[in-house]
Amino acid sequence: MIHVRGLTKTFGTVEAVRGIDVDVSAGEIVGFLGPNGAGKTTTLRMLTTLLRPTSGAATVAGADLFADPVAVRRRIGYVAQGGAFGPFTPVGNELVLQARLYGLSRAEARARVTSLLTALDLAGAEERTTVTLSGGQKRRLDIAMGLLHRPTLLFLDEPTTGLDPQSRANLWDHIRRLRERDGVTVFLTTHYLEEADALCDRVLIIDHGRIVAEGDPERLKAEHGARTLDEVFLAVTGRELREGAAA
């Protein structure tokens, strides 16, 4: 589903991503971990065609990222960290607009929005604006925006940041259901290691623009004699993730 070789991104003299390889198979839920500034979001923005890579090769959802970015866009969903809704427009209008940009007719778009909102426990929210929704509801709404065109691959940037534990667990259930029911492959970034542990089949750990460890959480823990992914992170980077996040 994702095949990346030697992907780099340089901003001026800063090498944000220094030649990473990523392989994700269909149906996987993969977590992309690292402290703030490690290169997670930059990588995600390259894989979603928002940012042009400096060098490397990448196939995303079966299309070449460099040669055919529009085909990539048709097949992927992207849920950005900061949300995707303005504060004043009814969310239904925004969702229908987005669906129609992917070629759905007005009637198809409306039906799709209704069924997605229902599936994400947001039935009847069409006329509301985001200011009246809770943090968890907003994130589910953002996910609905990313799923309108039935993408086979969904990118989620820090999907549960800022949510309370209950909303977070609820969102995890929804993400698992996406894979089970619709066969969606999920690639998500997070700096909550317990999230990766609970949700992901496999994790990639990025630090200073390089992938420093990868594998399924259980095996990584066993390899490093660690009880948690936090300890794995400490073992491979020599730093606490939380310190990294603060730095």
Partner 1 sequence: MTALAVLTGHYLRASFGSKVSLAFGAVQPFLFLVLFGPLFARSGVGSWAVLVPGLLVQLALTSAGMAGFGIVFDQRFGVLERLRVAPVSPVTLLLGRVLRDSLVLLVQAATIIVAGYALGLRAPLAGVLAALLLMTVLSVGMASLSYAAALTMRQELFAPVMSTVVVPLMLLSGALLPMSLAPAWLDVVSRLTPFRYAVEGLRALFSGSYGSSAVLWGTVVSLALAIGGLALGANRFRWEKA
* Residues in contact with partner 1 by the rule CB under 8 A: 11-12, 48-52, 70, 73-74, 76, 78, 80, 82-87, 89, 93-94, 97-98, 100-103, 145
Identity of the residue, 102 or 172, whose beta carbon is nearer to partner 1 in the bound complex: 102
Residues 6+ apart with CB under 8 A from 21: 4, 5, 6, 7, 211
What is d(CA 108, CA 25) in angstroms, rounded to the nearest whole number?
30
The least CB distance from residue 137 to partner 1, in Å, is 16
Which residue number, 66 or 102, has a Cβ lying nearer to partner 1? Answer: 102
What's the min distance (Å) between Cβ of 234 and partner 1? 32
| Nearest CB to partner 1, comparing residues 157 and 214 | 157
Over the range 150-177, which residues count as b (16 or more CB within 10 Å of their CB) and which as e? Answer: ebbbbbbbbbbbebeeebbebbbebbee
The residue among 50 and 133 lying less far from partner 1, judged by its C-beta, is 50
Helix axes 135-147, 165-182, angle to 10 degrees: 20
Q: How many CA atoms lie within 13 A of 116 on its CB side?
A: 26
Smaller CB separation from partner 1, 84 or 232 = 84
Find the shortest distance in angstroms from Cβ 74 to partner 1. Answer: 5
Q: What gap in Å lies between CA 228 and CA 222, rounded to an integer?
A: 10
For residue 22, give the H/E element and its range. strand 14-24
